[in-house]
Amino acid sequence: MTDHRRTLTLTAVLSALIVVSTVAAPMVSARPAHEIPVSEVSTADLAEPNADGWEAVPASDVPLSSAPSSVPNADDTSIETVDVQAARTDQRLYVRLEWQDATRDMNASATREFADAVAVQFPVNTSSRPPIAMGGPDNRVNVWYWSGSTGTQELLAGGAGSTTPFENPTVQANASHSGTGSNATWTVVYSRQLDAPSENRTDLRTDGDLDVAFAVWNGSNGERSGQKAVSEWHYYPFSGGPQGPPYETLLWTLAGIAIVAVVGVTSFGIYRTQGAE
């Protein structure tokens, strides 16, 4: 009888542990590679690159590589990674980008001078993912752009070469270059209201995941136009609930049920064998 009870208890504990771990695993360790978490915050002290509010917001390391482009020297880019943080209040989305760049290139006032720049790209229509290189004619992108020489611009593009600035940007950007030598970094914070301010601007109050991509230009390396370091498409998980694409949760659930079933059947077998003695 005591043996019987011990076996049952063990089975129950084991099963419970397995269930807990299957549910918890995707939330803790396996954040999907292209997901960039967004912190929901109630009040925002986030507009400045060095605002205290950013300390609590997790950062993602987004790898960059040279964009495919027909411009000369397109594969000569120098920025390899950008740290991305994102936070959302019930009114605004804040995106903070930080990358290493030893030179602070703020001007394009000489014939060979180009300014550092950074951009965030969203689909105009958040229900489908546009071609990564400036979108396509039927699937346009909204780009938040900041450069040392032009300041903030809000752009619309429907394919390479079609980029057009909106007349009145609704995006705010604040930039700061800090540190010295090779450890010096640029930090740029963008923010915009969640509601789409007009047609052809991305609605950030979407309930689905929001695709997003990043680009960085190093002015002193002559980078401009298609000569830029870009990310692949990533996404902000605005769909809520367990994070990650739905199929992942489904797979974990199925695996959990299967494990519980196997453990249950095995325990029952042992119990039966012992009971028969």
Partner 1 sequence: MSTDQQDDQGEEDTLVNVADGVDHQVAMVMDLNKCIGCQTCTIACKNLWTEDGGSEYMYWNNVETKPGEGYPRGWEDSGGGWESSEHSDRSPGEIPDDEDYGRAWEFNHEEIMYEGSDEPLRPRDGAEWGPNWDEDQGAGEYPNSYYFYLPRICNHCTHPSCVEACPRSALYKRQEDGIVLVDQDRCRGYRYCVEGCPYKKVYYNTVSKKSEKCIFCYPRIEGEGPDGETFAPACAEECPPQLRLVGFLDDEEGPIHKLVNEYEVALPLHPEFRTQPNVYYIPPFAPGQHTEDGETVDIDRIPRQYLRELFGDGVDEALDTIDAHRQRVRQGGDSELMELLQDKNPAKQYRLEVFDDD
> Based on CB atoms, which residue is closest to partner 1, 211 or 223?
223
Query: Applying CB under 8 A, does 183 fall inside the site for partner 1?
Result: no
DSSP single-letter state for residue 134 = T
Residue 222 C-beta: closest distance to partner 1, Å: 9
CA dihedral for 200, 141, 40, 168, sign (positive or negative): negative
Binds partner 1 (CB under 8 A): choice among 109, 180, 182, 198: 109
Query: Applying CB under 8 A, does 110 fall inside the site for partner 1?
Result: yes
Binds partner 1 (CB under 8 A): choice among 161, 179, 208, 269: 161
> Based on CB atoms, which residue is closest to partner 1, 78 or 163?
163
Q: Which two tokens stand for residue 121?
A: 């790209």
Helical ranges in the chain per DSSP H:
2-28, 246-276
> CA-to-CA distance for 230 and 37, rounded, in angstroms?
19
Residue 202 C-beta: closest distance to partner 1, Å: 21
| Closest residue by Cα to residue 59 from 21, 99, 117, 108 | 99
Opening angle at CA 257, ends 255 and 263, nearest 5: 100
> Based on CB atoms, which residue is closest to partner 1, 142 or 147?
147
Residue whose pair of structure tokens reads 């960085």 in the numeric block = 216
Residue 178 C-beta: closest distance to partner 1, Å: 26
Binds partner 1 (CB under 8 A): choice among 15, 103, 149, 200: 149
| Closest residue by Cα to residue 256 from 9, 13, 20 | 20
Binds partner 1 (CB under 8 A): choice among 60, 69, 185, 239: 69
> Based on CB atoms, which residue is closest to partner 1, 54 or 145?
145
Backbone angles phi, psi at 2, to 5 degrees: -65, -40
| Closest residue by Cα to residue 212 from 95, 92, 78, 54 | 95
Helices then strands, counting H and E runs in the chain, come out as: 2, 14
CA atoms within 13 A on the CB side of 77: 26
> CA-to-CA distance for 150 and 135, rounded, in angstroms?
23
Alpha carbon dihedral 138, 142, 146, 147, in 10-degree steps, equals: 10
> Based on CB atoms, which residue is closest to partner 1, 92 or 228?
228
Q: Which of residues 184-213 bind partner 1 (CB under 8 A)?
A: none
Binds partner 1 (CB under 8 A): choice among 72, 137, 179, 240: 72
Binds partner 1 (CB under 8 A): choice among 53, 135, 148, 226: 226
Name the segment binding partner 1 (CB under 8 A); options: 41-49, 63-71, 81-89, 243-251.
Answer: 63-71
Binds partner 1 (CB under 8 A): choice among 95, 97, 124, 160: 160
> Based on CB atoms, which residue is closest to partner 1, 89 or 149?
149
Residue 111 C-beta: closest distance to partner 1, Å: 5
Query: What residues line the site for partner 1 (CB under 8 A)?
Result: 69-72, 108-112, 149-150, 160-163, 224-226
